[in-house]
Structure 1
């Protein structure tokens, strides 16, 4: 294959790919439907023209019949008046009218089947257009449903443009959160080790350690004192029994 042939094939392939990407099935179906409607309108115009010709031929045939009848009447009147010359002229006129009618009838006989064919073609074309319209609406609905399903699936899976960076954003946010937590733990550990100080506390590390030791010793002393106080407190005695009345007092009464 020559270089020009390969270039032509490559250009044809690229063009087809571009057209397939730009082509919308809905627009293609609507365009086909419009073309079919245009064809139907043209068929109707042709049928109307042929029917008009049919009506014109029928009218001319009627005029020819009337002309033939009139020429026959004129010939009879001329014969009754012993005017053979006038009768002959009327008969010549009649024959011309008969020939004209024959020609008109031949044209009418030829056009009648065309009218029937055009009417049948129009009916079949209308039926085909109606079926195509139903198929078109069904295909457009199916395409719309499939397109919506693809968009929803892309949104759920992150394949589409709208949610394509959600996964990366979440990973970056998680990395920042973990880094911040590690930093907080490190600073807390440094504060516990005394390497980081509270800027509002002017005490040295030794003073802070001694203060904590004093606080611990004070709490321990208070705890021991509390325990000692509880041990020194006597237990509550049981309530005293009600004194009984002596027998002597009973006897005296």
Structure 2
């Protein structure tokens, strides 16, 4: 592999990773899930604010009711003391507190209805988030399995760059091995025919041929001797 092809492969891999990240469905699902959780937290904060306002109104209503009861007690006490003027003043305070209670109660009912709606929304959103989380994890698992299958199939079929390069390397090694084997056979043939000489062998071509003849003749003599000995044993 040339340095230019290697650099091109690296650049292609980086570009593919960037494109994959930009369109990664698993990351998109996780991001959607995080946004839903953020919406749920915001809903809870709004609900907490509304409930806080509801409790504040309830406390104000309770306080106004105490003031109204106190004003009535004061009116009764003033009448017992023959102070009708004080009784009227106390009853006027009671009426003011009653009007205040009515206004506070109306506001409380409105806030309480809003709180119930927010609670229903929160419960519905919580259920939806749980369903989405389950669906998200199932889809991510299926996606991961599919991607793994694609990678394995690419590797087995040679579609992947890794196995393709490995196949090229194996073919080059096989070709080189065949060339070296052919060269070795040619060298052996040339050495045997005397075209090239062993630098450590100082014999002439005639001497080498004679030595080979002697070896062959010696083998033939030993073979004939062994055959004769075996025949003599059988006859004996």
TM-score bin (small chain)? 0.7 to 0.9
Report how many aligned residue pairs link the two structures: 220
Listed as ranges, the gaps of 5+ residues in structure 1 are 1-16, 237-253
2:155 aligned residue: 155
Secondary structure of residue in 2 paired with 1:163: helix
Equivalent pair of 1:33/1:133 in contact (CA under 8 Å): yes
TM-score (norm 1): 0.73
SS of equivalent residue, structure 2 residue 90: helix
Whole-Å Cα distance in 1 between the matches of residues 57 and 204 of structure 2?
Answer: 127
Counterpart CA distance in 1 for 2:149 and 2:47 is 47
Runs of 5+ in structure 2 lacking a partner?
Answer: 1-15
Is 1:53–2:57 an aligned residue pair? Answer: no
Following superposition, the deviation at residue 93 of structure 1 comes to 1.1
Q: Find the aligned partners of 1:233 and 1:156 in 2 and give their Cα distance.
A: 66
TM-align CA RMSD: 3.1
Pairwise mapping of residues 54-203 of structure 1 onto structure 2 (< 5 A)? 54-203=54-203
Maintained 8 Å contact 1:72/1:90: yes
| Structure 1 position 73, deviation (Å) | 2.3
* Alpha-carbon shift at residue 53 of structure 1 (Å): 1.4
* Residue number in structure 1 paired with 2:20: 21
For the residues of structure 2 that align with 1:20 and 1:184, how far apart are their CA atoms?
Answer: 51
Normalized per residue, the structure richer in helix is 2
Q: Looking at CA atoms only, which structure, 1 or 2, has the larger radius of gyration? A: 1
Q: C-alpha offsets along residues 87-115 of structure 1, whole Å, 9 cap, x if unaligned?
A: 22112111111111110111112112111
